[in-house]
Every structure is written in structure tokens, then in C-alpha cells.
């Protein structure tokens, strides 16, 4: 069976070129494509468990994700990112890492999909810049959203957001305090600072007391990944090292970037027609229709 994904013309061309070069076990396998009239489709190998958002944000599925499975998914995503950032030739910056782009096979192994926004980096290149900011707003790093700068650390920021969503089981716009609204990162930081980090955790995970220390450690890692300062974020290889050694000492995170700080985006969009943001604030639940 195959999974059909639709794209704009530019995204379609970009995804075909990249995935054709990167046929790898860590990525969803591209079987073919269709380009006829207005219909542009990539045909991927079908993944039985659809994508992570289907489990994470579908309340009836969320209880199926115990900590062992979530931990497996987190580690799997990191390994896939290490491949893209460190081992792949060419090196790839995904630029749109999110729950709906994490596919799950029958054994809940992860594969990264949708390379329509991805960029190729040369061996000596560490950063790029664009006037056209595309992707999903609630996963964007501040330097990318506000200045169009992207790097492996931009993907790390997106992973940090996804990481905290896996732990909390909540969307970004799920945290309200009376008449005020906190996004996920602000809410997680406040709880961490006040010594109440466990209040962030999906209630379905609380019953497993043996995993609580691991979950606390993962919240720390997630907050390190979403630091405002690019240099304070770990690399994907560094995250792999941290996850593999329980005794590794983690630094205390500083206050992360807040999506409230991105208000300048609207002003920038009004000042120049070249700076374009494609915002998708909420996390959609992907519906896959096999053909």
C-alpha cells in the first residue's frame, strides 16, 4: 500500500530531488510520483500507524502511548536527525519537523517524512538565510521566524518543541490561566522554574513511578533544545549522548523563546513583500488515505 501526499510545485520538486538522493532506512521510502495537470503527488511506502500526531493529539489514541513507547519515539527522532545533520551527504536541514511529519511503522519505529521545506548544506556550511520563511509557526526557532536564519540548531529547536509535546500530550494552545494565555514553552518553563515540572506531564504517564526520573530528565533536555540563544542548544549528536548516559550532568536551562516574542513577524510582513510567513499555529491531525 502507498501513502499519497500533496504539495505545491516548489515543495514537490524539492521533495522529489531530496528524497531521491536520500533513500535510507531512516526516511519514509519514496515509491514514485505523479505530475499531471494540477495534480502533484509523491507516493511513499505506506506506514500502518500513520503519523505521530494521530496518536499524540487524538485523545482516544493517547492512552496507547505509554512512556516506553514515547521514549522509543523520542530516541528514534534524534537518531534520524543525526543522520540528516551529521551522516548524510549532502547534509540536510529539514526546516519543518513536527508531529505530522513523523511517520510510525507497525512497530512504532519512527521515520521522517515531508522534505518539501528542506535545504541542502555543503560540508563547510553551518547556516543559511532566506527571505521566505515557511513551515509551521509553533515549531519555529526565533532566529528563523524573525530573521530567516536557519541551521541544524533550528531543527534542534523544532525537536525541542516536539519533545515537550510528546511528554505533555498537548498542543501548543492548550495552556490557559484565567484570562491569560501561555504557549507550551512558556508554560513548561514556569513549571520548571517553580519546581512543578511534573505538572507538565501527560496524566496517563504519572502512574509509572519508575519512569518519573527519566521524564524529568527529558523535560530538562526539551527546555535546553528551545533556548533563545542558538549556542545554548545542544546538537543532535549531543542529545544522543545525553540520552544514552543516564549519569550525564545536564545544565540548567534558561528561559526559552516565547511565541509571544514573534509579534514582529506581522510587522516585517507588512514592510516587505519578500518576507513571507506561512503560519500553522495549531497542530493538525493528519488523515492518511491509502490508494
**Cα 191 to chain center, whole Å?**
22
CA distance 140 to 32: 30
CA distance 21 to 101: 19
Per DSSP, the residues of 190-242 read HHHHTT-GGGGS-GGGTT-GGGHHHHHHHHHHHHHHTBSSGGGSPPHHHHHHH
Is the bond preceding residue 69 a cis peptide, omega within 30 degrees?
A: no
CB 62 within 8 A of CB 169: yes
**Cα 291 to chain center, whole Å?**
27
Per DSSP, the residues of 18-55 read HHHH---TTBPPEEEEEEETTEEEEEEEP-TT-BHHHH
CA nearest 169: which of 222, 205, 211?
205
Residue 155 annotated among the catalytic residues of the structure: no
CB 197 within 8 A of CB 101: no
How many angstroms separate the Cα of 103 from the Cα of each of 26, 33, 235?
10, 19, 22
Going through 94-178 in order, the beta strands assigned E by DSSP cover 102-104, 110-112, 119-121, 127-129, 132-133, 149-151, 176-177
CA distance 238 to 245: 11
- Catalytic member of 53, 96, 155, 283: 96
Q: Which residues are catalytic?
A: 96
Amino acid at each position: 500500500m502507498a501513502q499519497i501526499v500533496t504539495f505545491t510545485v516548489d515543495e514537490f520538486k524539492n521533495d522529489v530531488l531530496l528524497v531521491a538522493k536520500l533513500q535510507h532506512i531512516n526516511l519514509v521510502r519514496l515509491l514514485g510520483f505523479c505530475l499531471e495537470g494540477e495534480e502533484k503527488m509523491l507516493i511513499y511506502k505506506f506506514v500502518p500507524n500513520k503519523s505521530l500526531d494521530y496518536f499524540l493529539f487524538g485523545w482516544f489514541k493517547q492512552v496507547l502511548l505509554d512512556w516506553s513507547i514515547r521514549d522509543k519515539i523520542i530516541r528514534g527522532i534524534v537518531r534520524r536527525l543525526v543522520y540528516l545533520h551529521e551522516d548524510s551527504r549532502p547534509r540536510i536541514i529539514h526546516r519543518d519537523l513536527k508531529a505530522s511529519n513523523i511517520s510510525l511503522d507497525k512497530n512504532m519505529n519512527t521515520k521522517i517524512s515531508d522534505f518539501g521545506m528542506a535545504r541542502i548544506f555543503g560540508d563547510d556550511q553551518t547556516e543559511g538565510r532566506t527571505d521566505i520563511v515557511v513551515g509551521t509557526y509553533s515549531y519555529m526557532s526565533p532566529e528563523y521566524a524573525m530573521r530567516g536564519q536557519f541551521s541544524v540548531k533550528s531543527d534542534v529547536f523544532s525537536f525541542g518543541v516536539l519533545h515537550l509535546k510528546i511528554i505533555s500530550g498537548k498542543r501548543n494552545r492548550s495552556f490557559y490561566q484565567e484570562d491569560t494565555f501561555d504557549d507550551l514553552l512558556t508554560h513548561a518553563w514556569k513549571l520548571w522554574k517553580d519546581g512543578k515540572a511534573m505538572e507538565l506531564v501527560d496524566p496517563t504517564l504519572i502512574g509509572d513511578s519508575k519512569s518519573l526520573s527519566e521524564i524529568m530528565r527529558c523535560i530538562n533536555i526539551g527546555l535546553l533544545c528551545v533556548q533563545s540563544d542558538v549556542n545554548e542548544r545542544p546538537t543532535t549528536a549531543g542529545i544522543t549522548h545525553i540520552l544514552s548516559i543516564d549519569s550525564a550532568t545536564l545544565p540548567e536551562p534558561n528561559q526559552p523563546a516565547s511565541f509571544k516574542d514573534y509579534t514582529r513577524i506581522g510587522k516585517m510582513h507588512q514592510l516587505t513583500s519578500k518576507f513571507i510567513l506561512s503560519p500553522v499555529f495549531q497542530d493538525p491531525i493528519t488523515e492518511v488515505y491509502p490508494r
